[in-house]
């Protein structure tokens, strides 16, 4: 950081990957997965972790509660509508947190108040004040959000902000809920609000920008230049529709352009890439190669002119160091002769810890299985082992082995051996391709009638020995699950992913939102 960093304000990083990020269709996470990500966010030194929407479902409540119990250094937050039942549930969920926050919200734009809430502005104002006061019974750390704030009437916005600060809100969030904002306009809105609200100095102002027009990060940083001191964001820009402002882009913009931005963060940069990989593996949402900071091409140079410049002086074409954000230039780390100590040490280097010896033993056994098939084990392979290892549900279906018959001009045929409720079962089917044949063979046994919403294949590393990382998204009766599988055989990885998705459906490990309101 710049030498004059002591003169800079602190920028609070509020991560909502576990709440808004999870509202991406198909990005549902189990309680254990949320805890694992939360502990990585804690290691990243995120200030506030929004762990979920406690009222949304029993599973969400338990997940928020589990994160509150597991994380000690970050503030744990639960979202709540501006109604007592939501707030009570949120208060109960964060009760065990070292530092807890309730984040309550109500829509304030004319279009939302009229068509969604069907309420007049005075009633909205009254409900907002009551909600903040109610939340203060559980914690002194209360955040109030004006849903669709960027499209709200300015005078009404100032009235409700002044009133909720007086009621006890210490953080005021003015979100760009639908990604409608433009940087100059959005930043100017913050400047005017802070200047016109008499008690604005009693609260921290926050942004929450969606990326519908690709302006989430730009809008957030514009608000910072105009007085905002908290940014709500997600790992990899995960979120509803086109996603949210990306944490890694915001943090590195502030650090790289410390000559411009009057703020600094406490983020431990070297954990950015490992956290990105973990979130991608758990949610099944791959990171595009040219994604800023965390994409595999983010620091790659193919142009001869660029390569020549880099060799002569790195800063000719690089404004950041790959190593600073967690990229490792020496990615080849382990092989089949590596022992437990070496594997554990490498996981430690990657910022990955284990809850118990049993958990590490399970991952180490998977490492040995992979090392028997793949000569060179890379960091990305280790991340994949973690992402696919924590399946504690009692599996109804288990993939054992398969035989695929393919011949040009003929339909592929799959013979599979599954274990169903502990009993070996053979199944077979033709298909349009080998993966289609495998899925149809599995369905002959499962008869789930689930709709296949996504089939995604990504190579974890380069080369012909690379593991295939497969995501299968199934929907059944309104419930969506992601099954993931990894193998050097793409068809086997596909079978594993499909079987895991069926097990998640059978175990009820899906996410439902009784209402999908959010900010």
- The angle, 0 to 180 degrees and rounded to 10, between the axes of the packed helices 340-349 and 357-373 is 100
Surface-to-core class of residue 348, CB atoms within 10 Å of its CB (0-12 exposed, 13-18 middle, 19+ buried): exposed
Q: Give the residues across from 284 on adjacent strands.
A: none
Give the C-alpha separation, 189 to 108, whole Å.
15
Residue 2, C-beta contacts closer than 8 angstroms, at least 6 positions apart: 8, 258, 259
Strand partners, 443: none
Start-to-end CA distance of the chain, whole Å, equals 32
How high is the pLDDT of residue 1?
Answer: 37
**β-bridge partners, 246:** 234
Give average pLDDT by consecutive 10-residue segment, the chain, 519 residues.
Answer: 63 97 80 91 97 93 97 98 98 98 98 96 98 98 97 98 98 97 98 98 98 98 98 96 97 96 97 90 85 84 45 58 74 73 81 80 86 76 67 74 93 95 94 96 95 87 79 85 87 93 80 51
In the numeric block, which tokens belong to residue 372?
């028997």
Non-local (6+) Cβ contacts of 202 within 8 A are 165, 170
421: region left, alpha or beta (phi > 0 left; psi from -120 to 50 alpha): left
pLDDT at 351: 63
Residue-level pLDDT at 303:
43
DSSP-based three-state secondary structure for 77: strand
């Amino acid at each position: 950081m710049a030498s004059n960093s002591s003169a800079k304000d602190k920028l609070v990083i509020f991560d909502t990957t576990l709440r808004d990020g999870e509202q991406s269709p198909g990005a549902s996470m189990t309680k254990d997965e949320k805890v694992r990500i939360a502990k990585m966010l804690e290691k990243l030194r995120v200030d506030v972790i929004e762990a979920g929407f406690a009222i949304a479902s029993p599973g969400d409540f338990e997940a928020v509660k589990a994160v509150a119990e597991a994380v000690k250094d970050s503030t744990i937050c639960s979202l709540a509508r501006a109604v007592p039942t939501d707030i009570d549930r949120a208060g109960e969920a964060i009760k065990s947190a070292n530092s807890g926050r309730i984040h309550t919200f109500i829509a304030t734009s004319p279009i939302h108040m009229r068509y969604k809430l069907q309420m007049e502005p005075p009633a909205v104002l009254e409900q907002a004040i009551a909600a903040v006061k109610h939340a203060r019974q559980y914690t002194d750390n209360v955040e109030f959000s004006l849903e669709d704030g960027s499209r709200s009437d300015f005078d009404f916005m100032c009235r409700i902000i002044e009133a909720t600060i007086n009621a006890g809100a210490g953080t005021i969030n003015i979100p760009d809920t639908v990604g409608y904002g433009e940087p100059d306009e959005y930043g100017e809105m913050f400047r005017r609000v802070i200047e016109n609200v008499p008690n604005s100095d009693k609260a921290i102002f926050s942004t929450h920008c969606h990326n519908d027009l690709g302006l989430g990060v730009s809008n957030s940083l514009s608000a910072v230049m105009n007085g905002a001191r908290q940014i709500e964001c997600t790992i990899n820009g995960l979120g509803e529709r086109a996603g949210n402002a990306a944490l890694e882009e915001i943090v590195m913009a502030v650090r790289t352009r410390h000559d411009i931005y009057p703020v600094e963060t406490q983020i431990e940069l070297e954990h950015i890439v490992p956290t990105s990989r973990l979130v991608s593996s758990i949610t099944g949402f791959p990171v595009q190669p040219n994604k800023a900071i965390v994409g595999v091409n983010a620091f790659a140079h193919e142009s001869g002119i660029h390569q020549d410049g880099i060799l002569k002086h790195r800063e000719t074409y690089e404004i950041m160091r790959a190593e600073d954000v967690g990229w490792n230039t020496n990615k080849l780390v382990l092989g089949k002769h590596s022992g437990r100590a070496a594997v554990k040490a490498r996981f430690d280097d990657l910022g990955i810890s284990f809850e118990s010896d049993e958990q590490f033993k399970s991952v180490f056994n998977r490492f040995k299985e992979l090392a028997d098939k793949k000569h060179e084990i890379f960091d990305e392979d280790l991340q994949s082992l973690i992402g696919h290892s924590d399946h504690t549900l009692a599996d109804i279906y288990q993939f054992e082995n398969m035989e695929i018959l393919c011949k040009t001009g003929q339909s592929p045929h799959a013979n599979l051996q599954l274990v169903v409720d502990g009993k070996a079962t053979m199944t077979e089917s033709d298909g349009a391709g080998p993966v289609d044949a495998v899925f149809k063979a599995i369905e002959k046994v499962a008869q789930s009638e689930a709709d296949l919403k996504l089939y995604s294949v990504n190579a974890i590393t380069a080369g012909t020995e690379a593991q295939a990382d497969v995501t299968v998204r199934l929907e059944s009766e309104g419930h969506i699950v992601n099954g993931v599988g990894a193998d050097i055989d793409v068809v086997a990885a596909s079978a594993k992913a499909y079987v895991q998705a069926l097990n998640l459906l059978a175990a009820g490990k899906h996410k439902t939102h009784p209402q999908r309101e959010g900010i």
